[in-house]
A = this chain, B = another copy of it.
C-alpha cells in the first residue's frame, strides 16, 4: 500500500506520496527521506509534513460520479449512531466516497459491501478505496445491487435511481433496529421511498436536508460566501421493526 504525506502551510495543503520526488505548482518536493513532523521550505513558504486524515485523502480522490458530500455522510453517521463493527451495504458506489467514509467508521471489525454496476465508476471507486487503505473493510462488486445477498445488516445506504424498488429487499436483510437510508437529489425519490417504507411497516425516522454555508471574514467584512452549493440531496431514514 502506498503511503501519503500532507504538506501543510498557513495557506495551503498539498497531498503527496511518501518516499518520492514530486514537481508541484509551488516547486520541487523531495520526500525520499521525509518523516512526519519535518518542516520544509518550498517556494519561500514553510510546510510541516503530517499524516493525512481520511478527510484530507478524500479531497484528493478521483471523482467519476457525483459524490456524497462530507456533510451528508456525517449526517448519516450522526442520525444512525454508526458504530465500530457495523455491517453495511452501500449502492451505488459512484466514486466510492460514502463507502470509504462508512468503512473508516466501522473499522476492521466491521464491513461495507458496495455495489456499482457501471464499470468505469467501479474502477474509480476501487482505486479510491485502495488509496485510502480500506480494501480490507470495503468490498466493492461490479454488479447490479438488485440481487444482493448480504443479510443481518446494521445499515443500508442507497444512492441510485429507483431506490424505492429495493426497500422491501432491504428491510428483509436488515437486523431488527437496522437502518435504511435513501439519499437522492430529487424529492420524488424521497416521496416514493417513504411510501415503500410505510408499506413495509418500517419506523420512518425523518427526511432531512442540510444547507451549508461557508462564511468569509477579512478585516471587518464578514459574510456568507455569495455563491456556492445550494443543494446536494435529501436523506430519508427508516428502521426495520419486524
A residues whose Cβ falls under 8 Å from a Cβ of B: 6, 8-13, 37, 39, 46-58, 70-71, 73-75, 77-84, 101, 104-105, 107, 175-177, 185-188, 190-191, 194, 201-203, 206-217, 220-232, 234, 239, 241-242
Kindly report which residue of chain B lies nearest to residue A66, judged by CB atoms.
B226
A177 pairs with B228, CB closer than 8 A: no
Most buried by B among A39, A74, A186, A202: A74
B10 pairs with A222, CB closer than 8 A: no
* Dominant SS among interface residues on chain A: mixed
**In the complex, which residues of chain B have a beta carbon less than 8 angstroms from the beta carbon of A185?**
221, 223, 226
A194 pairs with B177, CB closer than 8 A: no
B203 pairs with A207, CB closer than 8 A: no
Given the contacts A78-B70, A206-B214, A176 and B48 also touching, CB distance less than 8 Å: yes
A220 to B162, CA, bound (A): 12
**In the complex, which residues of chain B have a beta carbon less than 8 angstroms from the beta carbon of A37?**
176
B228 pairs with A230, CB closer than 8 A: yes
Closest 7 CB pairs of A and B: A53-B81, A50-B177, A55-B81, A74-B74, A74-B78, A70-B78, A224-B231
Most buried by B among A209, A215, A228, A229: A215
**In the complex, which residues of chain B have a beta carbon less than 8 angstroms from the beta carbon of A73?**
78
B203 pairs with A10, CB closer than 8 A: yes
**In the complex, which residues of chain B have a beta carbon less than 8 angstroms from the beta carbon of A39?**
242
The smallest beta-carbon distance between A209 and chain B, in angstroms, is 5
Q: 18 more A-B contacts (CB under 8 A) besides A53-B83, A188-B220, A213-B231?
A: A8-B177, A8-B241, A9-B203, A11-B203, A12-B203, A13-B203, A50-B177, A51-B177, A55-B81, A71-B74, A71-B78, A73-B78, A74-B78, A190-B215, A210-B210, A210-B212, A213-B230, A223-B231
B84 pairs with A107, CB closer than 8 A: yes
The smallest beta-carbon distance between A159 and chain B, in angstroms, is 14
**In the complex, which residues of chain B have a beta carbon less than 8 angstroms from the beta carbon of A53?**
80-83
A49 to B241, CA, bound (A): 9
Partner of A48, one of B177, B217, B227: B177
Partner of A229, one of B12, B77, B216, B227: B227
Q: List 16 A-B contacts (CB under 8 A).
A: A9-B241, A10-B202, A37-B176, A46-B241, A51-B177, A57-B81, A70-B79, A84-B107, A186-B220, A187-B222, A191-B217, A206-B214, A206-B215, A209-B213, A225-B231, A226-B230
